[in-house]
Amino acid sequence: MKIIEPDFDRSIDLPGTGPTPRPVDIDPSTTGFRDLVSLRIYEFADGTTIDGEAEADEVLVVLLAGALSIAVTGEYEAEFRLDADGDWAIYLPPRHHYRLQPLTPATVAYARARPSSASAPRAFRPVGGILAIEEPLDRLRLRLMALEGETDASAGLGEDVERLAHLTGPARIGDRDLPPAHTLALSPGEGATVTGDGEILVVAALRPPA
């Protein structure tokens, strides 16, 4: 298990938007993973417009705070609104573009994996306070839920896959206290139990078919 610290001084210069905070920026150069391409978390200001693309990946765009609208273009076209009272995430298929517009200051996570199939864009909302995403995605799986007591950092996604568990608030693992916004990188076969405040966002990538 690796514990990855955020960097609140990190920003990326987005075309048409300018320097944008990206405190969480995790890819295989950090994790050594093969299947889970990346997890990145941005802080977007309202009044901006962010244009991006999935490239060859399947992408989950997950709202962690605030509200936003997002329009998807490509073979499939769709428009979505994400906010606390409705949908919390969308699936963006490979080779599609998006235009994201924060309606308030927004914290947004992007998770990526390289799929072998694709389907139409789709929005997801929580059930019973838990956001659980599986189908129609090919390889990405996700859970977002509140930390309550001792929580399995795999969040029901199993320990035989690569996982990233992002902790939004202060947390404790064993005898180690973690400040907010740390992320656990769990290789297949590794597990961890977490206690703390806030939420846990767990992203996993299934292994490709043999």
Cis preceding linkage at 136, omega within 30: yes
What is each CA distance from 70 to 2, 73, 77, 84, 108, in whole angstroms? 33, 10, 11, 15, 12
- Considering the domain delimited by 2-205, tell me its CATH architecture: Sandwich (2.60)
Give the per-residue pLDDT at 198: 95
Residue 117's Cβ-count burial label (10 Å; 0-12, 13-18, 19+) is exposed
What is each CA distance from 180 to 122, 142, 155, 169, 170, in whole angstroms? 30, 20, 18, 4, 4
Position 210 confidence tier, pLDDT thresholds 50, 70, 90: low
When the pLDDT of each residue in the chain is averaged and rounded to a whole number, the result is 96
pLDDT above 80 for 209: no
For 2-48, write each residue's pLDDT tens digit: 999 999 999 999 988 899 999 999 999 999 999 999 999 999 999 99
For 112-147, write each residue's pLDDT tens digit: 999 999 999 999 999 999 999 998 899 999 999 999
Q: Which two tokens stand for residue 50?
A: 């962010």
| Nearest alpha-carbon partner for 146 in 108, 202, 69 | 202
- Break the chain into its structural domains and give their ranges: 2-205
| Nearest alpha-carbon partner for 91 in 138, 59, 126 | 59
Give the per-residue pLDDT at 208: 82
